[in-house]
Amino acid sequence: MPRAGLDRAAVVELALAVVDDGGPTGFTDLTLAAVAARAGVAVPSLYKHVAGLPALRREVALVCVVDFVHTLEVVRERHGGADMLPAMAHATRDLARRSPGRYQAVQGTSWVRDPDAGAVQQAGAQAVAELSTAVAALGVPDERRIDAVRAFRAATHGFVVLELEGGFGMPDDVDESFDFLVAGLVGGLERLSVR
Amino acid sequence: MPRAGLDRAAVVELALAVVDDGGPTGFTDLTLAAVAARAGVAVPSLYKHVAGLPALRREVALVCVVDFVHTLEVVRERHGGADMLPAMAHATRDLARRSPGRYQAVQGTSWVRDPDAGAVQQAGAQAVAELSTAVAALGVPDERRIDAVRAFRAATHGFVVLELEGGFGMPDDVDESFDFLVAGLVGGLERLSVR
DNA sequence: CGCATTGGCTAATGGCATTAGCTTTTAGTC
DNA sequence: GACTAAAAGCTAATGCCATTAGCCAATGCG
């Protein structure tokens, strides 16, 4: 019997494929059994490469968060000043729609209180830092910086979650609703800087 | 052996207790085994009263959503005009903090695409209707009503989710951040009505 | 060519949901 | 008050998943 030739990276890659194929619940539904099936290998063999399901989840999440941060970085480099934050909002929603499972991996579970998820936490902090930069570019005063970042994260994350779950009953143009939300948010934050 | 004297309602009640004791993940962690243990009964016995775990989850969710709607109704009756929407925002967050598991039951899973969750969907629609009333009370024009409700839901839900998951790293006053968010939201929506 | 490493396997255990089928309580009726 | 049928509990069995232990064969290095 020839070997499958797996390694840690290959397993994570296959797990990402499982997540991507699983739609909005892809990350929740990520299972060692599914990865093993995809690899053409028995389940216990995976333990030669990853420490277990929670560890695999962390690895997957790390990839997704790093990707997300990179996306935000690109946005920052391309957009100066006031259009940076809206661009980040749209980039976030785009990612969530293109790869709902990966978005779930980024935001879904509470890595925050997981002592083994240091790398994920660090990457998450980077993402927040990018947002903070964008908020600052709007002219929001320093003492409101944290509040503004929280408001931005809450609004975009909430919207995306509701959209992915199908929480917006009627099909009235969701794109328009998102533009409305972002415009209101940016408007509100800009007004802070004027005073 | 004396009987336990269960019935459908009692099982749901016990399930709610499990959810309440489980913190933010109480609903996800709801298990027939946990309910059975609490009832002092073997797991299969529960099937005499509920159709299975998914059905029990639906029942639990229904109770939680109905409670939530009732909370919003009370808010509507007590507050007129412009302070109705902020009051609903705070009521939502209060509920989420007091009973994170129940909040998860309300918003967590996608009942929307579950053909057996008609009752939950109806109750959910009622909740949205209450929010719509509150938005209207702010003077938002009709053609922006849906967008405004969506923005409100996104902002509050997103905030609450991030808070519950511990997503707000630093402990900088979260109450203040929430007030900031709500104030910005209400301000933005009020401004719509002026034009 | 030999051999250690390593990647795969099967088998076993334990948690969970679910189904089937049995027994005993319980409540209703004569 | 006794008889019976429904209801409520039980145990046993199945299946899916993760995890651990221990075995065997492929691979690569000297």
- State whether residue A37 is helix, strand or coil: helix
* Residue B128 CA, nucleotide C27 C1', distance (Å): 46
CA dist A133 and A195 (Å) reads: 20
Gap from A53 CA to C19 C1', Å? 29
Per-residue pLDDT of A1-57, as tens digits, reads: 567 789 999 999 999 999 999 999 999 999 999 999 999 999 999 999 999 999 999
| C-alpha to C-alpha distance for B31 and B13, rounded to whole angstroms | 14
Q: How far apart are CA B72 and CA B134, in angstroms?
A: 10
DSSP A138: T
Mutate to test the interface with A, among B121, B146, B178 (most CBs of A within 10 A): B146
A86-113 pLDDT, tens per residue?
999 999 999 999 999 999 999 887 898 8
The per-residue pLDDT for range B44-59, each reduced to its tens digit, is 999 999 999 999 999 9
Q: Which residues contact B47 (CB under 8 A, 6 or more apart)?
A: none
For chain A, what percent of residues have pLDDT higher than 70? Answer: 98
Instruction: Read off the pLDDT of residues B157-186 as tens digits, 9 standing for 90 and up.
Output: 999 999 998 889 887 799 999 999 999 999
Question: How many angstroms separate the CA of A1 from the C1' of D24?
Answer: 12
| Local confidence band at A195 (pLDDT 50, 70, 90 cut-offs) | low
- DSSP per-residue letters across B8-51: HHHHHHHHHHHHHHTGGGTTTT--HHHHHHHHTS-GGGGGGTSS
- Along chain B (195 residues), what's the average pLDDT of each consecutive run of 10 residues? 84 98 96 98 98 97 98 95 96 98 90 92 96 96 96 98 89 93 94 76
Contact call for B168 and A150, based on CB within 8 A: yes
Q: How many other C-beta atoms are found inside a 10 Å radius of the C-beta of residue A139?
A: 14
Query: Considering only CB atoms, which chain B residues are within 8 Å of A152?
Result: none
pTM of this prediction?
A: 0.94
Q: Closest Cα of chain A to B25: distance in Å?
A: 10
Q: Which two tokens stand for residue B164?
A: 């519950």
Q: Can you give the pLDDT at residue B195?
A: 58
Looking at every residue in chain B, the average pLDDT score rounds to: 94
Name the residue among A15, A26, A18, A52 with its Cα closest to residue A108: A26
Q: How far is the CA of B93 from the C1' of D3 (A)?
A: 59
Chain B residues 25 to 64 whose Cβ lies within 7 Å of strand C are 31-34, 43-44, 47, 52-54
Name the nt closest to B53 by C-alpha to C1'.
C17
Sign of CA dihedral A77, A82, A83, A84: positive
Cα distance from B40 to chain A (closest Cα, Å)? Answer: 31
Tell me the C-alpha distance between A43 and B1, whole Å: 43
Q: Residue A49 to residues A17, A28, A58, A193: CA-CA distances in angstroms?
A: 17, 21, 14, 51
Q: How far is A112 from chain B (nearest CA, A)?
A: 6
First-residue to last-residue Cα distance in chain B:
73
Q: Which of A105, A75, A103, A109 is nearest to A89 (CA)?
A: A75
**Which helix (H) or strand (E) covers residue A108, if one does?**
none
State the Cα–Cα distance between residues A12 and A61, nearest whole angstrom: 10
pLDDT at A161 over 80: yes
Residue A178: pLDDT band (50, 70, 90) is very high
Q: Using CA atoms, how far apart are residues B157 and B124, in angstroms rounded to an integer?
A: 14
CB within 8 Å: B181 and A151: yes
